[in-house]
Each structure stands twice: as C-alpha cells, then as structure tokens.
Amino acid sequence: MSEQSPASGPLGNLAGGPHDPEHDATAAYALDRGYVAGLTRRIVSSTGRTAPVWSPVGGIPLAHLPQSSPADVAEAFARARRAQVAWARTSLDERSAALLRLHDVVLDRQEELIDLVVWESGKARKDAYLEVAHVALTARYYARTAHEHLDTRRVGGMFPVLTRTEVNRVPKGVVGVISPWNYPLTMALCDGLPALLAGNAVVAKPDAQVMLTALLGAQMLEEAGFPAEIWQVVAGPGPEVGGAVVAEADYVAFTGSTATGRAIARQCADRLVGCSLELGGKNPMLVLRDADVHRAAEGAVRAVFSNAGQLCVSMERLYVADQVYDRFVDAFVSRTRAMTLGASLDWSVDMGSLISQQQLDTVTRHVEDAVAKGARVLTGGNARPDLGPFVFEPTILEGVTADMECFGTETFGPVVSLYRFHSEDEAVERANDGLYGLNASIYTRDTRRGRELARRVRCGTVNVNEAYAATFGSLGAPMGGMRESGMGRRQGPEGVHRYTESQSVAVQRLLPIAPVMGMSEEVNAKVMTGALRLLNKLGRA
C-alpha cells in the first residue's frame, strides 16, 4: 500500500494559515478560536462546562465545546416548540424554497465543509465530499417532491357525491435527531431536512466527536433562510443528554448502535411516541459465477474501505462463487494494496483514519483474534501510527470461522472476510445468516437474475453491480434495515411521512349516514345493503 503523510489542505477561513499538524509544534489548535466560537454559540448550554475535541488528523486539538444539561435540553425544546407554531403556518412553497437555497449554500461552501469534516473525522477527502453531495441531493429531492408527499389528498368517500373525504399530513411537532460520528454532516442534517419540510422543528444532538460539523450545518440552514429557532443544538454525553432528548421529543430519529437503539425504542414506547432507528449491520456482498471479476473487485474496494469501513452500509462479508474465487481474490488484493493511506486533507488519499482510539482498539482486537484462531491475512492487518494515531491498514481475511469475533459481530472498520460458495441458494442462505439486515450487494452480468436474488436477501437495501451508492443515492427509494438493523426508513415518501400524523377529514352532504324521514333501523339496514351491493357491482372500492 502506498502512503500519504499528514498534510494541510485548503483551510479557507478555518485557520490562520496552512501548517503541517505533524511537524508544526507551535500550532496549539487546528481551527481559529474565533471561528469555533461563532459555531459553538448555537449550542444551548448554561452549565459553564466544556469538553475537548481532538482531531484524528495528527492528534491535535480542535476546540473546547460547551456542554448541555437536561435542563438545557428542556429549554431547547421549549424554544423549538414556540418557533414550530409559526413555521408550520408557513406555506409549503416557502419551506421548499429554503431547502433549494440550502442545496446551493452547501455546494458553494463545500471546501469549508469538507475541511471541517476531515479535521473532525479523519476520513479521506473524497469521502467527505460525498457528504456534501448527499446533503444537496436530499435537500433538492424533498424540495422538488414536497407537494407530492405533503399536499392534502382526496380519497374515496363512503358514498359517491354524498361523502367527501380528504387526508391531511400534520406535523408531529418537535423532532429529536440523534446522529452518529461516522458521517458528521449528512447524518446531522439529512434526517432533519424532511422534518423541517413537513412543518416540524428539530432538536439535534450530534455525536460529541463531530459537533463542529453539525454546528456548521446549522449555520448554513440559517443562511439558507430557515428561522434560527426551529433548529436547536445540544451537546453532551449520550446517556445524559440523549436520554433527555428522547424524553422530550414528539418523534425520534436515531442512527447508531443496536444496543442504544433498543434503549431508545423502549423509552419511546413508554411515552407512546414514534421513532426510526438505523442500527448495526454485518453486510454481505455476493459475487456470482458470471460476475465481471474486475468490476466486482473495484466495487469491493469501495464497498469495504470507504470511510475506512466506518459506514453503516459497508460490506464486511464477501461470498464469492468457486468458479471466479481465485481470480477475484487476486484482483481484490491487488487493488487494495494499491490504495493510498493517511490522515490528511489532501485529495490523493484513498482511505483515511479511524476516528478514535476506541475504534482502533476494536479493529485491532478483531484482527488479532481472527489470526490467533487460524485466519489468514491476505493483505493489511496492522495499525499505522506513522501515518496517523488511528490509521489501520485495509485488511482482507480468509478462513474466518464462527468462533472468531469478526465472524458475526460488526467491526465497523477496514476489515473484510472472504468466503467461497458453491451454489446461489447457499450464498443467499449465508447472506441471510445472523441477526442483521441493513444492506447487501450482488455482482452478476445477469441483472435480471440479480434482482430476483435480491428479493430473497433479508436486507432493507440491495445493490446490483454496486456496493451501496445506487440505493443510498436514489433519494426516492426508502433506506433502512430489517431485523436488528433497525426500524423505519429514511429517504423517499417514508422519510418525510414519518414526521407527520395522517389526519382524515370527511364532509357528509345532503343525507346523513343514518335513517331519514322516520325510516326504521330495519328499513335503513335494507336500504344500506342495497347500496352496498350496487357499489360493488359498479366496481367501487
């Protein structure tokens, strides 16, 4: 694997000037303190406490962030509720226009956003750009389809002409969005954008490791014309502040671990409020015997090592047909070894850093456990502190068995296990093994066969001849998990409808649905029966 040393990129207004964080010992903070102060003023905090944030790029400090208390969370919800009343009364066209302005704002300021995402997460610059693109896609999709999803809809009434029935989409109120660290921009904003479109306000609780990116996103919402008060931000430990958000919200959108998702679901159930949960995965990729081996190997590199494997829909299990196994492995290993690694803001890095020591420890433990129990490392397998404090080589394992920790447990890092299969039925059965069901991938020249097999795979999204981007980038298609990978969906109609209550309104005209003119109940029943038979003959629903 080729290597990329830590280096500065175009920082814009983020710092006083370019410097190499590995060699410039005089740089106390990577980011200008005035710039940070402009962002952190958006945090609802009265505690006087702060917490440090460090960058995986060179291990340098970024900021000290104000911390919120449960009382601050309550205050954030109070502010949001006041603002939501007026926001819900604005026209759908006004809300859509704000989303379209946001689309342009994030594209115009993409360099600043990308820099900050890389500083906070350590990911490769190309992976950070995808966050900008996804926010723009989400904003544009919901703006352009707003009326399709949210306009009052006429449905068939009980009796033609006599009954007029409509269904309204009413905002739930204030939505709590609890977002993870792995995609600090897109996860902080994209679940909240359809909530705003539907007339809700949002209280956001981003992960503590990536607060600055989420705050810059909130700043851009205001720049796009959204009222400042409808998007509140709180900061602090998940068990303390996250629980307070769930206790106040009218609906909760959460992305994170299955264990935390279970706790949130229980808390929501106690309050009889809804939630959507995108949780863990152990995603499978199937390479069928007729697959284009080189296309599959290229796709596997992206499927496994994008964002250093810290992607909910990335692949950790590759099932390859006997007929192409050896050729695929050669191509996959060769492409993996050619990747450039590093913790840097430069575009030349193929795979960046893990975000923290905790992630590095998990990845290291999984690999060491597998090797100790007999797995073979085809490439990678080592931490690279010479490139960054949390950099780990992209790693391909062969011979992984059920007694190894990485067999069925999510690694969430740049590690994949290879397996042979003899028949497609066997491949589907093994892909469905385990408790997760988030994303899957199938490589085949016969795309019709790929679509047929996809229906048998128990995952919320399945990509044919692509890893994850085809479904994730198709904003009209819902995205989410089956089984222990979650409940509810983001994107598509379901992604905005989850933030609304459906309300039916019916107007009865001319005649009541009751006996008229002294008619007895018995006679009314006969008249009603005749009407029902007539409507059935006429083909009415």
- Catalytic residue check, 312: yes
Collapsing DSSP to helix, strand or coil, 53 comes out as: strand
CA 396 – CA 267 distance, rounded (Å): 39
- Asked if 342 and 57 count as a contact pair (C-beta separation under 8 A), the reply is no
Catalytic residue among 312, 316, 406, 459: 312
- Catalytic residue check, 393: no
* Closest C-alpha among 185, 194, 209, 210 to residue 131: 185
CA 24 – CA 275 distance, rounded (Å): 46
> What CA dihedral angle connects 367, 370, 376 and 382, to 10 degrees?
20
Catalytic residue among 120, 248, 278, 410: 278
CA 23 – CA 93 distance, rounded (Å): 52
What DSSP assignment string belongs to 395-419? EEEES--TTSHHHHS---SSEEEEE
Beta-strand ranges (E) seen in 371-513 are: 376-379, 395-398, 415-421, 439-443, 461-464, 486-487, 500-508
CA 12 – CA 319 distance, rounded (Å): 44
**C-alpha neighbours within 13 Å on the C-beta side of residue 310:** 27
CA 21 – CA 119 distance, rounded (Å): 11
CA 288 – CA 310 distance, rounded (Å): 26
Catalytic center residues: 278, 312
